[in-house]
Structure 1
Amino acid sequence: MPTLRDIMTPNPVTVDPQATLQEVATLMLEQDIGAVLVMENDRPTGIITDRDIVVRAVAYGHDSGTPVTDYTTGDVFTLDANTSVEDAADEMGRQQVRRIPVTENGKVVGIVSLGDLAVRANSDADEEALKGVSVPSENHNS
Structure 2
Amino acid sequence: MTAHGSSTAPADLRSTVARHWTATEARDWTAVASTLADGVVYDLPQTRERIRGKEAFLRFYREYPGDWHVRVERLVAEGDQVVSWIHARVGPEEMHAITFFGGDAEGRITTITDFWPEPYEPPAGREHLTERY
Bigger proportion of residues as helix:
1
> What TM-score comes out, normalization by structure 2 length?
0.30
Bigger proportion of residues as strand:
2
> What TM-score comes out, normalization by structure 1 length?
0.29
Q: Which has the larger radius of gyration?
A: 2
